[in-house]
Structures are given as structure tokens and as C-alpha cells.
Amino acid sequence: MKHHSGIIEVVCGSMFSGKTDEMIRRLRRATIARQCVQVFKPIIDNRYAVEKVTSHAGSAFDAIPIQKAAEIWEHLNPHTTVIAIDEAQFFDDEIVPIVQKLADQGKRVIVAGLDTDFRGEPFGCMPVLMAQAERVDKLQAICMVCGEPACRTQRLVNGQPAHYHDPIVIVGAAEMYEARCRTHHQVPRD
């Protein structure tokens, strides 16, 4: 089943907000509609399985791990009409024109990723993809301190907030990250 026109959908938010679950939900619906689906993920995201996107809640969907965004072209099936890209913030800048070209070709492109890094600042390609998308869904998690809606990702090092100048990319899950609200998100600058 071919789409009449392309579309870019971005699912973003903090860690533990359900981004991958939402992407997988959309992919399952596309599969039920007999659409040809392919999923790509950065090879550095090996938290659960190398050839699957897996949510923290345990949902999974087959995926192709790639090092650079341009590898999408090498693996793209000509019959694919729905392309999903998980953890897009980890890809190089080439991901933006690739997503645009796929949509221009009439594909439905679903992009999931963190909109901000552990410092609370825009993360990689995500701000541009959000601006260029036809649809953006920003999900919230639950603050691990107060239980209010959380929009930030708190990185912890030995149980303490990571410092502002610590490395931006460190792949991990609940052992080193928490969802936090604006009030409880801390990033020491000393």
C-alpha cells in the first residue's frame, strides 16, 4: 500500500516517556494495514538487542542497526512505504536531508528520539526534524522525585547529577538515567 504523499512524524520527549512504545504502536498498525515497514537504529544503542528496537517496557520490533545515516539507502527495500528511525539524536547531521528525501519520495517517516540531552539542551538533529515534521508528539514521563510530569532526562553518576561538562552521549538506561521535572532536574556547572 503506497501513501499519497510523504509525511514526517516525530515522537520525542525525555527518557522513559514512551517514545519507542509509541513508535512500535504505529509500526504495528502499519503492519496490520499491510504496509511494508523498515526500522533503523544507531548501532551504538545495544542496550537490549542489536537487531531490535526495544522499549524500556519490553515492547520490541525488528530493526537494522546502522553506523551512519547514509547507510539507510544501502538497506532500504524499494517496496518500503513506512520507515522508522529510533534514537535519531545519535545520528550524524546527514539524517535530516535523508528524512526529507524519504518524505519527498512519498514515504511515511516516523522518527523517535530525545528532544533534549541530559543538560536540558536541544539534542543533535532533533530540533530541526521537529521543525520540519508535519506531526510532532512530545511525550512526558513521571518525575522520579515528586511524581509530577517529567520533561527532562537526569543523568546520574554514582547517584549524583552529572556535571554540565560531562560527555553528552553515554548510552544507558535506568542504571544511570531518571526522568525529572523542571524543578528536580539538576546539572551542576562547577
Instruction: For the chain, give the secondary structure using H, E and C.
Output: CCCCCCEEEEEEECCCCCHHHHHHHHHHHHHHCCCCEEEEEECCCCCCCCCEEECCCCCEEECEEECCCCHHHHHCCCCCCEEEECCHHHCCCCHHHHHHHHHHCCCEEEEEEECECCCCCECCCHHHHHHHCCEEEEECEECCCCCCEECEEEEEECCEECCCCCCCCCCCCCCCEEEECCCCCCCCCC
> Bridge-partner residues for 156, per DSSP?
161
pLDDT of residue 53: 83
With CA atoms as reference, report the closest residue to 153 among 99, 92, 89: 89
Block means of pLDDT (10 residues each) for the chain, length 190 residues?
A: 79 95 96 96 78 79 94 97 97 97 97 97 97 98 97 93 88 80 93
**Domain annotation covers residue 43:** yes
- Spatial distance between the Cα atoms of 133 and 149, rounded to a whole number of angstroms: 24
Q: Number of structural domains, the chain?
A: 1
**Domain annotation covers residue 33:** yes
**Domain annotation covers residue 57:** yes
**Structural domain of residue 110, as residue ranges?**
7-139
**Domain annotation covers residue 161:** no
- Spatial distance between the Cα atoms of 137 and 7, rounded to a whole number of angstroms: 14
pTM: 0.91
Place of cell 520507515: 83
Place of cell 523542571: 182
**Domain annotation covers residue 159:** no
CATH number of the domain enclosing 108: 3.40.50.300
- Examine the residue annotation and report whether 87 is marked as an active-site residue of this protein: yes
pLDDT of residue 2: 54
**Domain annotation covers residue 129:** yes
**Domain annotation covers residue 93:** yes
**Parallel, antiparallel, or unpaired for β 60-62 and 64-66?**
unpaired
Q: Point out the catalytic residue in the list 9, 22, 87, 178.
A: 87
**Domain annotation covers residue 186:** no
pLDDT of residue 44: 86
